[in-house]
Structure 1
Amino acid sequence: MTADNAPRMDNAANPDWWRGAVIYQIYPRSFQDSNGDGVGDLLGIVNRIPYIASLGVDAIWISPFFTSPMKDFGYDVSDYCDVDPMFGSIADFDAVVETAHRFGIRVMIDLVLSHTSDQHPWFKQSASDRSNDKSDWYVWSDPKPDGTAPNNWLSIFGGSAWQWSSRREQYYLHNFLTSQPDLNFHNPDVQTALLDVAQFWLHRGVDGFRLDTINFYTHDAELRDNPPLPKEKRNATIAPAVNPYNHQEHLYDKNRPENLDFLRKLRAVMQPFGAAAVGEVGDAQRGLEIMGEYTRGDDLMQMCYAFEFLAADQPTAQRVVEVMQQVDEVASDGWACWAFSNHDVVRHATRWNLSPAAQRMFATMIMCLRGSVCIYQGEELGLPEADVAYEELQDPYGIEFWPEFKGRDGCRTPMVWDDAEHNAGFSSKPVTWLPVASEHRNLAVAGQERDPGAILHHYRRAISFRHHNRALRVGTHDGLKSSGNVVYFTRTDGDQTIFCVFNISDQQSVFDMPKGDWRTIGSELGSANVSDDGKLHLGPWQVCMALDKSGR
């Protein structure tokens, strides 16, 4: 199969397919190894698409599989238009698209446009001298008179964001590793080249993109210093607390208004394909505000990936209300994409120290929030964070900040398929790229499939419940409030109104339902019954979804 005959979903007939969608994130290194080399690959994904389809998700998001030296596990790209041999071939990718589409699943891929690998031909040429055709494709600057870096910008991976090049006798910008130089989005040729990358994959049949670090694309052309951020305003939403990156207000190294021009161009490229994009907004102070800016109107991004529920602290009822109300204020016509876990944070089962009942409550709640939803591989199994020993670490971030921050390897260990198989069914190789976590084996897919009470089935039921109730997928939300540990709101679309209540605690709670003719729905998710006197008796971590019968 070639790009010319790539199978397509009918996105034109359903241009809002992304709105309210449930997206399953695949970290390909750790999903399924098909060739016995200890590393997951694209054909492994093909083999597991029937399982993904059984979850009922609308789309998959595949983390980077492009050619890369793998200093940051694929987020350092050396060829945007090819597959790294570790993961397979272009033909294997085509097989992923064909198989996913055959099962009714759309395919989104992770585009890393803000930076490349230092092994990318563009950077090699740019770094060779100051006068070549790509000399300004990256962010280069002369040193200060005393030889120090041009300004105070910091790398999110630690240390200065500037690296000295002895060949050019200049510094280049890297918001991440020194091996990940930032592209210069002020250069129109760079923008054109990146839009061509998007075109390449759209022609191969992808349905959309997850845009890595979307707010890092453009920098301040004057290279002004970031101001300090007062201690009381700091948080560890996108960088660990021990990282001095949190000590700055990031006004100039990212979040620049010029970003919008490129996003409009990218949307124009995607439009004929009916493709959608979700942008990852990494900012600890202005994340939701930027989400509103980037998803406003109909010529920017459809969705942005918010970090508010990826934080270290379990969200309280009050916090859930604050976040959702803030979205209404700053992104009234925008669209959020919510997640509790991903490949960069401690799995939320561990991060929030959740009991099995609490995990189920949060799974139900995220399926009732206004916005789209991302679930991360293994989340549907209730996997905790794996404990990876220092000598087995692969993540440079964890190695840099150990032991105060152990890095991201604990959420990236291999998927567990069958406890009866070698390496829980992930790989036939004795040693895998990260070890299969022993604490995960009893949560493997095969065992949960046999257990009707397993959390895997709860996720399936929650996803199905969302899909069967249009108000939850695309409806408005109103009356967002909290009372003690209880959060409640109404979702409405047309004549369907659903009142949603969640007890975010391990204590019982009594709640007075609003006046109305309510019928409990979602009993398969443990939804509590409304008593005749209008009172709702919620057990620990219990939920209630009630349908307004007058609207039917």
Structure 2
Amino acid sequence: MNRNPDWWRGAVIYQVYPRSFFDSNGDGIGDLPGVTAKLDYIAGLNVDAVWLSPFFTSPMKDFGYDVSDYRNVDPIFGTLSDFDELIRQAHKRGLKIMIDQVLSHSSDQHPWFAESRQSRDNPKADWYVWADARDDGTPPNNWLSVFGGSAWAWDSRRRQYYLHNFLTSQPDLNFHNPAVQEQVLSDVKFWLDRGVDGFRLDAINFCFHDPKLRNNPPSAAIQEGSIGVRKENPYAYQHHKYDKTRPENLAFLKRLRALLDQYPGTTTVGEIGDDDALQTMADYTGGGDKLHMAYSFDLLTEQHGAAFFRKTVSTIEKKMTDGWPCWAIGNHDVARVATRWKARTPEALRAYMMMLLTLRGSACIYQGEELGLTEAELRFEDLVDPYGITFWPEFKGRDGCRTPMVWHHEKTHAGFSDARPWLPVHQDHYGAAVAVQQAEDTSLLSAYRTFLGWRRQQPVLLKGDIAFHKSPANTLVFTRSLDGERLTVALNLSDKPVSITMPGIGQPLADTPAFAIGHWQDKTLKLEPWGADIARL
């Protein structure tokens, strides 16, 4: 294993959604032994770490993001022994393991909530956010749920409302209660003691709420990095000033960081969904005493293009003076990037891959992204995501990006399972299966493997600074620099050839992957549609 405690700087993290990765026991649902069985494939991508989406005990109302036991594995995914074996086998291959931690809320099936809702004076009475109704019986304020409607649900036992920023079955924990913080940190320690290398922290800016329960004001402008920014969802109509991203969260993050600092070489990456996500990323990663890194939804929306990318990255570079970003262009919550950004060709997807992997920061790759999978079109009858079911047909939810991984084009259910999968395999995905692309040197999968292998040998791309240069429309040109070494990256993010005049730029690197070499004539670089070049100054 890499003993470098700062391994996470510039690391590439491969996100595995266990339900859809590989089914080892033939029940149609992926599991932890299935992940273990495919570790050679993951290691062969030349990534540094695996992020596992939740596998904890859960009623699965939100597919694991509603935890009912923070210290156990849900039987559909296996056992704690299976997890320990996964850790052992990953470390044997030089892979780090990061797990999802859902700290801001639990399942309503958690014993803590079952006790809390029984009365107003039991030992867990103040572990969740409870509030009296207004005089007319309506909720205490105007806060909205990300998944639609009021963020308050009535409980007949206590005759009070409880807060749920997501589903009604996901009550928010009361982080103003010191006992809650102690318990949460203890649960994090449980997994550190089992050998995990880090945590992806779900909705980490949602932990605290305004104790005065003040109404959120209307939103004057919708920011790119927020969540729920959909015209059919009123969540974006509010400026979320009081229901999340409260200043008290910073003190808790310092306590969390102090715990991880007791386990050298461990790390955190926080998910930031906020009205000003880039500023929150800077606040949460600055000072070296809170999160190690963070990502937002800025590159996970439908907005794209060279000008947008330059603006987004430049903004975070100005705000995040001493923090560390983590970039992602796809995950389990958003439509596949091939569909979302209308990247219709392998060349376009390769260009976006190179952009993601040459920006300053770490990067997350979502399973199937390396295959160029498109968003799966599902029938309403096949949907299981409560988000999509609620907003159908204007918004079809997250099931389309969660369909099973395609391993083999000639096997039943694409080699994911011998049984009918929990979500159907999309017919259009069979042709992009791993077995097909492994046999093709020019495939997108081969490009990922080659470029990731080359990238990990370039310290300047792992930890160097970044500076953008002026360039023609639909292009990005930036320089990465570290300890006197400078690499300039040029990307053509369009389907038309382009010429870029760059005085002072040196020649392309001899060892750069073949698809990352443009055509030079004097000081002019000619790039084919979706072409790229990396040169040393």
**1:47 alignment counterpart:** 37
The amino acid that maps onto 2:269 is V
CA deviations on 1:364-408 (whole Å, 9 max, x unpaired) are 111100010000000000100111110010000000000000000
Of residues 518, 529, 534, the one that matches 1:540 is 529
Q: Does 1:113 align with 2:103?
A: yes
**Alignment correspondent of 2:219:** 229
**What is the distance in 2 between the residues matched to 1:529 and 1:444?**
29
Q: Is the CA contact (8 Å cut-off) linking 1:295 and 1:303 kept in structure 2? A: yes
Secondary structure in 1 aligned to 2:536? strand
Q: Aligned AA for 2:47?
A: V
Change (3 A) 1:227 1:428: same
Query: Which letter does structure 2 place at the counterpart of 1:43?
Result: P
What residue in structure 2 maps to residue 73 of structure 1?
A: 63
In the alignment, which residue of structure 2 is the partner of 1:332? 321
**Counterpart selection for 2:201 from 184, 190, 211:** 211
Give distance in 1, aligned partners of 2:321 and 2:470. Answer: 18
- Does 1:184 pair with 2:174? yes
Rounded to whole Å, the distance in 1 between the matches of 2:255 and 2:505 is 48
Distance, in Å, in 2 between the alignment partners of 1:419 and 1:528 is 32
Please name the residue that 2:287 is paired with: 297
Answer whether contact 2:505 2:535 (CA < 8 A) is retained.
Answer: no
Alpha-carbon contact 2:216-2:238 (below 8 Å) kept: yes
Q: Distance between the aligned counterparts of 1:432 and 1:308, measured in 2?
A: 32
8 Å contact from structure 1 (residues 209, 278) kept in 2: yes
Letter in 1 for 2:480: R
Residues 262-306 of structure 1 show CA distances to partners (whole Å, capped at 9, x for unaligned) of: 1011111111212100000012x3001000000001111100012
Residue type of the alignment partner of 1:545 = I
What are the Cα deviations for residues 93-137 of structure 1, in whole angstroms up to 9, with x where unaligned? Answer: 001100000000000000000000000000000001000011000
1:455 is matched with 444
CA distance in 2, matches of 1:236, 1:466: 28
Relative to structure 1, the CA distance from residue 521 to residue 287 in structure 2 (aligned partners, 3 Å threshold; closer, same or farther) is: farther
Partner of 1:276: 267
**Deviation at 1:464?**
1.6
Task: Report the counterpart of residue 155 of structure 1 in structure 2.
Answer: 145
Q: Equivalences for 1:115-134 in 2 at 5 Å?
A: 115-134=105-124
Alpha-carbon deviation of 1:235? 5.6
Q: 1:289 to 1:241 in 2, by over 3 A?
A: same
Residue matched to 2:23 = 33
Q: 1:235 to 1:286 in 2, by over 3 A?
A: closer
With normalisation by structure 2, the TM-score equals 0.98
State the SS of the aligned residue for 1:515: coil
* Structure-1 separation of matches of 2:206 and 2:182: 17
Residue pair 1:395, 1:408 contacting (<8 A) in 2 also: yes
Letter in 1 for 2:311: E
* C-alpha distance in structure 1 between counterparts of 2:198 and 2:8, whole Å: 9
Which of 459, 474, 489 is matched with 1:470 structurally? 459
TM-score for the superposition, normalised by structure 1:
0.95
Matching residue's letter, 1:294: Y
Offset at 1:481? Answer: 3.9
Going from structure 1 to structure 2, the CA distance change for 1:235 and 1:515 (only over 3 Å counts) comes to closer
Q: Would the aligned equivalents of 2:115 and 2:125 in 1 still touch at CA under 8 Å?
A: yes
1:390-429 correspondence to structure 2 within 5 Å: 390-429=380-419
The 8 Å contact of residues 499 and 546 in structure 1, kept in 2 or not, is answered as yes
1:38-58: CA deviations, max 9, x gaps? 000000000000000000000
Structure 2: runs of 5+ lacking an equivalent: none
Instruction: Give, in whole Å, the separation in 2 of the partners of 1:303 and 1:480.
Output: 26
- CA distance in 2: counterparts of 1:320 and 1:479, whole angstroms: 11
* Distance across 2 between alignment mates of 1:516 and 1:504: 20
Q: Establish whether residue 193 from structure 1 lines up as the match of residue 183 from structure 2.
A: yes
State the match for 1:3 in structure 2.
none
Aligned partner of 1:353 in structure 2 is: 342
| 17-26 vs 323-332, which moves further | 323-332
Per-residue CA shift, 1:206-265, capped at 9, x if unaligned? 0000000011011111110000013x5366852232100010000000010100111011
Count how many residue pairs are aligned between Structure 1 and Structure 2. 534
RMSD over aligned Cα atoms: 1.3
| Residues 225, 480 of structure 1: alpha-carbon distance in 2 compared, 3 angstrom cutoff | farther
1:438-449 superposed matches below 5 A: 438-449=427-438
Residue identity opposite 2:72 in structure 1: D
User: Do residues 491 (structure 1) and 472 (structure 2) align?
Assistant: no
Which shifted more, 59-68 or 485-494? Answer: 485-494
Counterpart in 2 of 1:323? Answer: 312
- Corresponding letter in the other structure for 2:271: E
Secondary structure at the aligned position of 1:367 is classed as helix
**Bigger Cα displacement from structure 2, 376-385 vs 512-521:** 512-521
In the aligned structure 2, how far is the partner of 1:473 from the partner of 1:290? 23
Given that residues 471 and 500 in structure 2 are in contact (C-alpha distance below 8 angstroms), is that contact kept between their aligned partners in structure 1? no
1:174 aligns with 2:159: no
| 1:370 maps onto 2:360 in alignment | yes
Shift of 1:529: 3.8
Deviation of the 1:522 alpha carbon:
5.8
CA distance in 2, matches of 1:270, 1:207: 10
CA distance in 1, matches of 2:224, 2:487: 35
SS of match in other structure, 1:386:
coil
Question: 2-side partners of 1:133 and 1:243: how far apart?
Answer: 37
User: Within 1, Cα distance between the matches of 2:471 and 2:227?
Assistant: 27
> After TM superposition, which residue ranges in structure 1, 4 or more long, deviate above 6 angstroms?
none
Question: Does the CA contact (< 8 Å) of 1:528 and 1:537 recur in 2?
Answer: no
